Amino acid sequence: MKILVTAFDPFGGDAINPAFEAVRKLPKIIAGAEIEILEVPTVFHKSIHTVTEALDKGSFEAVLLVGQAGGRFDLTPERVGINLDDTRIKDNEGNQPVDVPVVPGGPAAYFSTLPIKAMVENIRKQGIPAKVSNTAGTFVCNHLMYGVLHHIAVNNLSLRCGFIHVPFLPEQVVARDNTPAMALDDIAKGLEAAVEAMVLHRDDIKVTGGAEF
């Protein structure tokens, strides 16, 4: 089994992105699966092309997309990606779409095809906070999740795909008062647990993962 794990480069004025720093620390083999990593530009459309090109060239069974969600306490596997770009900040090439579909005429949303609840449970077993998220935002993270799932759907690919967000690193919140952070080693350990769950669970487990808001 081969799994592609992708993560974004730094954006929004930060010098580092905890997503890629953590992905770089992943073992080359997790639960018997071969792990290949890929850095993705934080740029609309170019991000989708970068990942889909790699998927089309490789023989992967699954892809885990990883991004930074500054302000969150937990590792958060995303349940759904929506067909909307609506951005508060510019991407790394100055693009700032507002109320624009990711794919004109595409479905309203795509659900993750990864075992997100099993991933949460396995991360928690490592003593690391995790929960299911029901919004991937409307920036490049959601854009990439939706775009890759759309590529898989329209090409009838037998490929599981989903997204997970990670918190800031401690050094990123020195000047951000009252903002949560997580140590790099813990983020990496949590991502390894998430990938392990992907390997061990083709179907998700039946436990609550809902939220009131």
CA-to-CA separations, 19 to 146, 158, 204, 213, in angstroms, rounded:
18, 26, 24, 25
Count H helices and E strands in the chain, helices first.
5, 8
141, 143, 150, 192: the catalytic one is 141
The owner of tokens 């799932």 is 149
151, 161, 165, 192: the catalytic one is 165
Q: Is 141 a catalytic residue?
A: yes
Q: Is 61 a catalytic residue?
A: no
Q: Is 21 a catalytic residue?
A: no
Say how many CA atoms lie within 13 Å of 12 toward its Cβ: 15
Q: H helices within 64-207, ranges in order?
A: 116-125, 140-154, 184-200
Tell me which residue of 128, 167, 149, 164 sits closest to 83, measured CA to CA. 149
78, 121, 192, 196: the catalytic one is 78
Can you say whether the dihedral through the CA atoms of 194, 166, 52, 10 is positive or negative?
Answer: negative
Active site positions, annotated: 78, 141, 165
